[in-house]
Amino acid sequence: MRQWLTKIRKQWHIEHNRCQSCGMPLMYDRNRLHTVYCSYCHDGKTFRQSLDLKGMRRKVRSLLLDRKAPSWIRVYMHWRLATLARWRQG
């Protein structure tokens, strides 16, 4: 039971600390230059690439395919990207 709680707590932490542009867990980004965006998306002043949500979905999809991520993760991230701060306003 305690192991489960630890896992759930870790997952909760990941969900609440994803890059608000690409969805990458910020705990894996050691060079972060912005509070809510990862170093691949943001250099601390501006976004590195001007993408729309469609473009970002395409980029994340091919990244996940390269890493041979399970298909449910691709489906999840497709949905999850739309909930991130960078894409919510538009």
Contacts to Zn ion by CB under 5 A: 19, 21-22, 38, 41
For Zn ion, the closer CB: 10 or 48: 48
Q: Which of 36, 34, 30 has the alpha carbon at shortest distance from 45?
A: 34
Question: In which residue are the tokens 């994803």 written?
Answer: 18
Least separation, in Å, of the C-beta of 5 and Zn ion?
29
Least separation, in Å, of the C-beta of 18 and Zn ion?
8
For Zn ion, the closer CB: 7 or 48: 48
In whole angstroms, give the CA distance from residue 16 to residue 5: 16
For Zn ion, the closer CB: 38 or 68: 38
Contact 52, 42 (CB under 8 A): no
